[in-house]
Amino acid sequence: MTTIVIGSRASNLAKAQVRAFLAPLRERFPEVSFAHRVILEAGDRDRRSPLPGVSAVNGGSAFSSEQEAALARGDVDAVVHSLKDLPTANPPGLVLLPPPGREDVRDALCGSTLAGLRQGARVGTGAPRRIAQLLAVRPDLELVPIRGNVPPRLKKIETMGLDAVVLAVAGLRRLGLEGSVGEILPLDLFPPSPGQGALGIQVREDNAVAREILSTTGDLAVDAHVRAERALLAELHGGCSVPVGAYAESRPDGQLSLTAQVTSLNGTERVSGTLAGSSAEPEKLGAALATELIGQGARSILDAVRSADRDQLS
């Protein structure tokens, strides 16, 4: 019997994502044995220290590097990531398969609605993008850095005396925690991290068996969406620790529409744009919109963010 070993992080969300990914594969390939192996990442071992910025092009991620190393060594045959955690370039010898569909891309405010937050309310989030976008809309808010898995972050509303926390709708739904949502934040003001809501199915390029079997669940339309979003991020030389939001949609005419926003950390500067292009060339569309945002001043905003990040880690 063929055995395919799937790696993931140790969180309940990561395990839920693996179960959801494997369910149709187990039905489709009863002759294949699918196993799951947990891999501990640096971001999971240390939840207090500031996380280093993630290079979109050639840097590692505190939430993916150990899994990628295990995959490259052959310890596992594939890894199921949250796609938004992955740098936009694969390490040599590794490739991404088309994602198996996509959950809701939006963010949610848990514990309150945006309008219901009192003046100076304390809102928990550790993501620079979410901090920047919240301050752009509500500069009076006190943003409190929090880290950890989804359920512990929800509990911090009580344990830390927060008025609300911001989390991805996708993670809440995958864990059956939709009842915690106070408000789903609008995409025009809170565009998500590139790839949010999608799984990143990573395999070794030379593992033909795993590639053939695991690719059968791939959604080519979603693949075009996330490729456009990640190409934009790569062109901006950003990573998951910078305030870049982007989402792509398929239009009725068959073209792909990509919307993106770059926001300064204090929320006072925003550049945004929307561009349409061929769904057959999503990377070209992403790069074109990134160039448009750079022309509006996105580069200087991101340079200031990286400088602040270096100061925090030094």
For the stretch 66-78, pLDDT in tens is: 999 999 999 999 9
* Catalytic residue ranges: 84-85, 129-130, 147, 153, 240
Q: What pLDDT, on the 0 to 100 scale, is given for residue 242?
A: 84
Q: What pLDDT, on the 0 to 100 scale, is given for residue 49?
A: 55
Specify the DSSP class assigned to residue 47: S
- Per the CB < 8 A criterion, the answer to whether 61 and 87 are in contact is yes
For the stretch 107-126, pLDDT in tens is: 999 999 999 999 999 999 99
Q: Which of 54, 55, 93 is nearest to 73 (CA)?
A: 93
Q: Is the pLDDT reported for residue 52 higher than 70?
A: no
| CATH numbers and ranges of domains, the chain | 1-104+198-218 (3.40.190.10), 107-184 (3.40.190.10), 219-314 (3.30.160.40)
Q: What pLDDT, on the 0 to 100 scale, is given for residue 50?
A: 52
Q: Model's pTM, two decimal places?
A: 0.92
Residues present in the chain in total: 314
Specify the DSSP class assigned to residue 209: H
Task: Identify which has the larger pLDDT, 291 or 239.
Answer: 291
- Per the CB < 8 A criterion, the answer to whether 54 and 87 are in contact is yes
Q: What pLDDT, on the 0 to 100 scale, is given for residue 310?
A: 66
CA–CA separation, 174 and 15 (whole Å)? 10
CA dihedral sign, ordered 147, 128, 58, 213: positive
b/e code 247-278 from CB counts within 10 Å (16+ = b): bbbeeeeeebbbbbbbbbbebebbbbbebbbe
Q: What pLDDT, on the 0 to 100 scale, is given for residue 111?
A: 97
CA–CA separation, 7 and 81 (whole Å)? 9
Distances (CA, A) of 287 to 54, 158, 235, 256: 19, 43, 6, 13
- Per the CB < 8 A criterion, the answer to whether 169 and 181 are in contact is yes
Classified as helix, coil or strand, 229 is: helix
Distances (CA, A) of 101 to 22, 135, 160, 166, 280: 13, 32, 36, 23, 18
Classified as helix, coil or strand, 44 is: helix
Q: What pLDDT, on the 0 to 100 scale, is given for residue 59?
A: 44
Q: What pLDDT, on the 0 to 100 scale, is given for residue 1?
A: 82
Specify the DSSP class assigned to residue 207: -
Classified as helix, coil or strand, 244 is: strand
Mean pLDDT of 297-312: 81
Q: Which of 175, 214, 168 is nearest to 190 (CA)?
A: 168
For the stretch 187-231, pLDDT in tens is: 999 999 999 999 999 999 999 999 999 999 999 999 999 999 999
Tell me how far the alpha carbon of residue 249 is from its chain's centroid: 16
CA dihedral sign, ordered 134, 241, 103, 227: positive
For the stretch 161-180, pLDDT in tens is: 999 999 999 999 999 999 99
CA–CA separation, 105 and 279 (whole Å)? 19
Q: Is the pLDDT reported for residue 309 higher than 90?
A: no
CA–CA separation, 310 and 262 (whole Å)? 19
For the stretch 8-47, pLDDT in tens is: 999 999 999 999 999 999 999 999 999 999 999 877 766 5
Q: Is the pLDDT reported for residue 127 higher than 60?
A: yes
- Per the CB < 8 A criterion, the answer to whether 156 and 165 are in contact is yes
Q: What percent of the chain shows pLDDT beyond 70?
A: 91
Whose structure tokens read 């926003």? Answer: 261
CB contact set of 208 (below 8 Å; sequence gap of 6+): none
